[in-house]
């Protein structure tokens, strides 16, 4: 994270530096992004920059953290279409809101896209960081889902969060493959506003069909239950 000297800056100056850094990293891959260009546009000495951030990596991680927090705040502040939607409908709606954030905050989203689809040298560190930012929020949602009876009480909450997060991360590669999108282009230019939202929503619907009802049909579920009961009785 930045040094305290960065947070001690006047709000306007801190915002100017942050906005210029977002624009630079959104427009260039990590190696090509220029600290020199950022400080020149911000009209600060390069030495001052290193009083705020240890290096280029620390600035980039700060921007990724900012993007994650902005997206989480966007999700939390969004008004659901109806109260008491239930866990699965609410989470399905949140996935759609997340897509809306990506389209309405292209620069911030582009920084994350460059990590997912590009060649950031510390990619795994960034991905772990972005997933960690949503884990606590997801834990709260799962806990509430169990309390409300939407999620089975014998479900391990940590496993549920892991499954949802893993599927969410997987969609970042599944959706481009299904829509025929070039991930290298996504890394360079981000998501276009004319993307096929109907197709994305259909993918979300299919995913939540599986999340809520599982893969097995009723017959296989009955067999599985009987098999489990037989195995338990033998112990």
Residue-wise pLDDT for 6-60, tens only, equals 999 999 999 999 999 999 999 999 999 999 999 999 999 999 999 999 999 999 9
pTM, two decimal places: 0.84
Longest dimension (CA), the chain: 75
Per the domain annotation, does 196 fall within a domain? Answer: yes
- Say if residues 111 and 67 touch (Cβ distance below 8 Å): yes
Provide the pLDDT for residue 107.
92
Provide the pLDDT for residue 170.
92
Per the domain annotation, does 212 fall within a domain? Answer: yes
37: its two tokens:
């260009």
The rounded distance, in Å, linking the Cα atoms of 218 and 144 is: 27
From the list 86, 89, 34, the residue with the least C-alpha distance to 60 is 34
Per the domain annotation, does 72 fall within a domain? Answer: yes
Per the domain annotation, does 227 fall within a domain? Answer: no
Q: 118 or 192, which is more confident?
A: 118
Per the domain annotation, does 12 fall within a domain? Answer: no
Per the domain annotation, does 125 fall within a domain? Answer: yes
The rounded distance, in Å, linking the Cα atoms of 20 and 15 is: 8
Which domain, by its residues, includes 166? 63-221
Summarize pLDDT for 56-105 with one digit per residue, the tens.
Answer: 999 999 999 999 999 999 999 999 988 889 999 999 999 999 999 999 99
- Check whether 228 has a pLDDT greater than 90: no
Per the domain annotation, does 19 fall within a domain? Answer: no
Q: Where do the DSSP E strands lie in the chain?
A: none
Q: Residues of 181-202 as b/e, b for ≥16 C-beta within 10 angstroms?
A: beeeebbbebbeeeeeeeebee
154: its two tokens:
């014998």
Per the domain annotation, does 202 fall within a domain? Answer: yes
The rounded distance, in Å, linking the Cα atoms of 32 and 217 is: 51
pLDDT category of residue 218 using cuts at 50, 70 and 90: low
**Structural domain count, the chain:** 1
The sign of the CA dihedral 12, 130, 207, 93 is negative
CATH number where 141 lies: 1.10.357.10
Provide the pLDDT for residue 235.
46
Mean pLDDT over all residues of the chain?
89
The rounded distance, in Å, linking the Cα atoms of 209 and 88 is: 9
Provide the pLDDT for residue 231.
47
Q: What percent of the chain has pLDDT over 70?
A: 92
Between CA 175 and CA 91, with CA 81 as vertex, the angle to 5 degrees is 40
- Check whether 220 has a pLDDT greater than 80: no
């Amino acid at each position: 994270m930045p040094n305290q000297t960065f947070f001690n800056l006047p709000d306007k100056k801190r915002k100017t530096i942050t906005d210029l850094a977002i624009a630079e990293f959104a427009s260039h891959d990590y190696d090509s992004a220029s600290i020199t260009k950022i400080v020149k546009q911000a009209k600060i000495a390069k030495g001052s920059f290193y009083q705020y951030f240890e290096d280029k990596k620390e600035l980039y991680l700060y921007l990724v953290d900012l993007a994650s927090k902005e997206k989480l705040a966007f999700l939390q502040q969004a008004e659901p279409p109806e109260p008491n939607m239930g866990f699965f409908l609410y989470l399905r709606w949140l996935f759609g809101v997340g897509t809306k954030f990506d389209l309405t905050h292209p620069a911030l989203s582009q920084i994350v896209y460059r990590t997912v689809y590009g060649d950031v040298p510390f990619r795994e560190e960034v991905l772990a960081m972005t997933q960690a930012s949503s884990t606590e929020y997801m834990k709260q949602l799962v806990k509430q889902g169990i309390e409300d009876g939407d999620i089975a009480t014998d479900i391990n909450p940590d496993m549920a969060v892991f499954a949802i997060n893993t599927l969410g991360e997987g969609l970042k590669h599944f959706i481009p493959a299904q829509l025929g999108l070039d991930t290298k282009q996504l890394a360079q230019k981000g998501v276009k506003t004319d993307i096929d939202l109907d197709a994305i929503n259909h993918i979300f619907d299919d995913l939540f069909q599986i999340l809520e009802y599982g893969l097995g049909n009723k017959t296989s579920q009955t067999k599985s239950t009987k098999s489990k009961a037989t195995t338990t009785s033998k112990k």
